[in-house]
Amino acid sequence: MRSLKNRLFLFISILLISIVLCHCQYISSRGNREIQNLRAFIKLYGYVRYFHPSDEASKIDWDKFAIYGTEKVKNAKNKQELKTILEGLFLPIGPTIQIYHSNEKPEDPTLRLPEDIPGLKVVAWQHLGVGLGSAGSIYRSIRLNRENIMTVGYGFGTVTQSIDAIEYRGKEIKLRAYVKTNVSNFGNQGQLWVRVDRKNKRMGFFDNMDDRPIKLNEWKEYEIKGMVDADALKIVFGCFLNGIGQVWVDEFQLLVKNENNEWEPVEIKNPGYEEEDEKHKPKEWSHGRPGYVYQITKEELYKGKKSLLIESKAKSFSGELFKKHPEVGEDVNKKLNTNLFCQIPLALYSDENGTLGKSDKYSFKELAAKLDAIEMSKLTAENEYVRLADVALAWNVFQHFYPYFDVVDTDWDKELTNTLKEALTDTNEKDFFYTLNRLVAKLQDGHGGVYHGLQKKQAGLPFKVDWIEHQVVITVSQDKANFRKGDMILSLDGMKAEQALMNDEEYISGSLQWKRIKSLRRFGYGDQGTIAKLKIKRGNDIFEIETERNYRERIVEPERPHIEELENNIYYVNLSKAPMEEINERINVLAQAKGVIFDLRGYPEGNHDVICHLLQEKDTSDAWMRVPQIIYPDYENVVGFEKHGWGLKPKQPLLKGKVVFLTNSRAISYAESFMSFVEHYKLGEIVGQPTAGANGNVNPFNLPGGFRVTWTGMKVLKHDGSQHHLIGIQPTIPMERTIKGIVEGRDEFLEKALELINQT
C-alpha cells in the first residue's frame, strides 16, 4: 500500500514538474517570439523611414506610427501572421516594398519599372549626417526632386519679457500660459521658457521645456516651476517656436510662493496680448530673429479678444546636398528577423501625381486616420508601446547614422534585443529612463545622453568630489562644519565609493575618462530631500555622517581672476571664463610676457581666436571635421564626407614668451577643437590629463514620453587624420592631483606650468 502511495506521489510530482517546465518553456518561447516580432518591425521601420522615398512615407507621423506598429506586431502568433501585419502597416506607405520569408525570393524590382520614362523624375533620399529637425543644424536630410521644408537657418522665434528678481530671491516661482501649436516632424515644437540671470553674467535656474515640447493642436495650459537664485538679478521668460510651424500663446501668468505656501500673482505686462501696436505686434514684449512672424491675432485665442501667433516663414530646398544618390532600380535586401527579409527600393520615379508604384490594395488614408486618432499628449513611458516605440526610434537613428561604430566595440544588433527585453519588463518612466541611458551608453559617445523631467526631482550633496589617488576626495564644501577639503569618502549608503561611481558609469556614454568625470559630478545624487549616509576618512579618523540631498546647483571650486599676472611677467588666462574681448584688451601685454599659462580645464568662452596669436603659419588642416554623406542603410558604403576645418590664420601680435596649456578630462567638444591646434602645431606644453575624447556637433532629437536624446553626428579626427574619439588630446606632461595639494589649497597643475616657464 505504502509502495503504491509512493509511486502515486512520484507520478504526481513528475507530472507537476512537467507542467511547470512546459509553462516556463511556453513563456520563454512567447517572450522570444515577441522579441522577434518587434525586431522585424523596428528594422523595417528604419529602412522605410530613412531610405524609402515614397511620397506617402514622407507624410506619415513616424512617432505615432512607431507606437501603433509595435502594438500591432508584438503579439503576432507566427511568422505568417507577422508578415501579414507588417504588410498591412508598411505597404500603405511603401507599395513597392517586398516582405518575404527566408525560403522565398523577392520579385525582380526592375519588372515594375515603367517603360516610358521621359519626363519622369527620380526621387531618392540624401542624408548629410541626418536631419532630425534641430533648428539651425548642420545636419540635413532631403528627397531629391521634392520641395523640402528646411529648418536649417531657422533657429527659433521667441517673445520675451523680464522683471527685476531681487525681491523674489530664494523663492519658488511658477510660469503659466496657454499654448496651441500647428507643427509636425522632428524638432518643430512650441516651448515656454524661464531663465534666472545672476551676477557676473551667470545663469541660474533655467527651463525651456526641452524635455516636454508642446505639439498639441488644441489650447492647453502649461507651466514651469523653479527656484530664484540667491544672487538673481532678473527673471526672463517667454514662449518660442522651435523650427517651423505655428504657435499661439495666450494668458501668461507669473506666480511666486509666499511664506504661507500660497501662490501669489506677480505683475507682468500685457499677459493676454490684448494690447498691440500699429503693426499688430505685441506691446511690452520683445521679439526678433529673422524668418519668423510675430502677430497679434483674433482668429485663434484662448481668452479675451486676442492672442499672439508666432509663425515661421516657410523655406524650401529642392536641390541636392551632394552629387551621389541611388538610381532607380537600386534596392537593398535586408534580414528583419530569423524568418523574414525585406526588399526596399531606394529610388522611385515620379510624375506630376507623385511617386510611382501606388496600390489600391492598402489604404494610406485609412492608416493615416488611425494614426491621427492617437493622442500623443496623454502618452508617457508608463505605456509599454511608448517604451517600445522609443527603442525603435533611438536604435534606428544610431544604426544608420552614428559615425563611430568603427572605433567602438559594441554589438549594436545585440543591444536591440537587450533593450527590448528591458523595455518589456520596465514598469514605469524611471525604469525606462535608465534603460534608454544604458542603450546610449553603449555608443561610448561623450555627447550621448538622455534627458527627462524626472531629473528635475533629483539633487546632490553639499560638496564637490574628484578622483584622487584612487579615492573619492572632497575638493570643495558648502557645509564646512561637516565636510572638509581632502576628506576621503569611503562609502555611500553602505556601498564602497568607487563602486558607486562604477555603477553610475554603466549609464554614462563616453570614454573612460569622461565617464569618470560625469559620475563624479553626480556622486551622491538621488531624489531631492532623501538622506545620504556617508563614511568619511579624515587623516587617521573614520566617522559616519548623514546629509540631505538638496543641492541642485553645481558646486565649483574657487575661481581665479580671468586674467592676472602671477609673478614677474608671467600671466594666467582662464579660457573658460575670459571672453575674447577681454583677452584682446590685454593681448599686447600677453604678447610681450615671459610666459602665458592658458587654463582650459573646462569649456572655452568663445575665445579660440587666441590660437591665431600663436600660429606661425596658416592652418591647412581643413578636413578634420567630417559630416557623412549617406544614401544607403546601416551606415554601409558611405559615399563621402562634407569636410570642415577652421582655416585659422596667424594674427598680430604673436605671443613671444613660453606658453603652457592646462587641461583635463572636463575639456570636451569645442575645448578639444581648441586643444587640437595646440597638439598638432605644438603651440605649447600641455599639462594635465587627457581630454574627454568626444568632438563634433551634437544632433539632438526628442522621443515620445518627454525624453530628449543627444549624440554626435559627425566624425572628428585629429589634424593628422588619426583617431580622436575616445582618445582625446594627450598631455605632453601628465599630471595628477594629490590629496595633500587639495588640503593645502594648491593648484598643482598651475604650479607645474610656472615651473616649466621659469626653467627657461
Location of C-alpha cell 522611385: 348
- pLDDT digits 0-9 by tens, 589-601: 999 999 999 999 9
Question: In the predicted model, what is the mean pLDDT of residues 487-507?
Answer: 98
pLDDT at 7: 62
Model confidence pLDDT, tens digit, residues 97-141: 999 998 898 888 776 777 778 889 999 999 999 998 776 789 999
Identify the CA nearest to 582 among candidates 603, 604, 601, 602: 604
The C-alpha cell that represents 464 in the structure block = 564637490
Cβ count within 10 A of residue 406: 9
pTM of the model: 0.86
Lowest mean pLDDT among 42-51, 198-207, 635-644: 198-207
What does the pLDDT average to over 292-303? 89
Neighbours of 748 (CB within 10 A): 17
pLDDT of amino acid 153 = 42
**pLDDT value at residue 359:** 80
Per-residue pLDDT at 185 exceeds 80: no
Backbone φ, ψ for residue 485 (5° rounding): -60, 135
* Helical H segments across 52-169, by residue range: 55-59, 62-74, 79-90
Greatest extent of the chain over all pairs of C-alpha atoms, in Å: 109
Instruction: Quote the cell numbers at residue 441.
Output: 551608453
Structure confidence at residue 15 as a pLDDT band (50, 70, 90): low
Range of weakest confidence among 66-75, 199-208, 657-666, 706-715: 199-208
Please tell me the predicted confidence (pLDDT) of residue 743: 96
CA 282 to chain centre: 34
Average pLDDT, whole number, for the chain?
A: 91
* Beta strands 526-527 and 148-149, pairing class: unpaired
Q: Which domains does the chain have, with CATH numbers?
A: 156-312 (2.60.120), 453-548 (2.30.42.10), 563-758 (3.90.226.10)
- As a residue count, the chain comes to 760
Alpha-carbon span 302 to 272, nearest angstrom: 9
Residue tagged 496651441 (cell numbers): 180
Residue 361 confidence class, pLDDT cut points 50, 70, 90:
confident
**351 CB neighbour count, 10 Å cutoff:** 12
Q: What is the mean pLDDT of residues 206-215?
A: 86
The predicted-structure confidence for 552-604, as pLDDT tens digits, reads as follows 877 888 888 999 999 999 999 999 999 999 999 999 999 999 999 999 999 99
Q: What CA–CA distance (Å, rounded) separates 412 from 399?
A: 7
Paired strand residues for 458? 527
Within 289-411, where are the H helices? 364-372, 384-401
User: Is residue 45 predicted with pLDDT exceeding 90?
Assistant: yes
pLDDT at 6 (0 to 100): 62
Q: State yes or no: pLDDT of 464 exceeds 90.
A: yes
Instruction: Kindly report which listed range (233-247, 504-518, 639-653, 685-699) carries the lowest average pLDDT score.
Output: 233-247
Measure the CA–CA gap between 599 and 576, rounded to whole angstroms. 7
pLDDT band for 29, please (50, 70, 90 cuts): low
- 380: amino acid identity, one letter: T
Residue 346 has pLDDT above 90, yes or no: yes
Distance CA 743, CA 418 (A): 45
Is pLDDT larger for residue 149 or for residue 53?
53
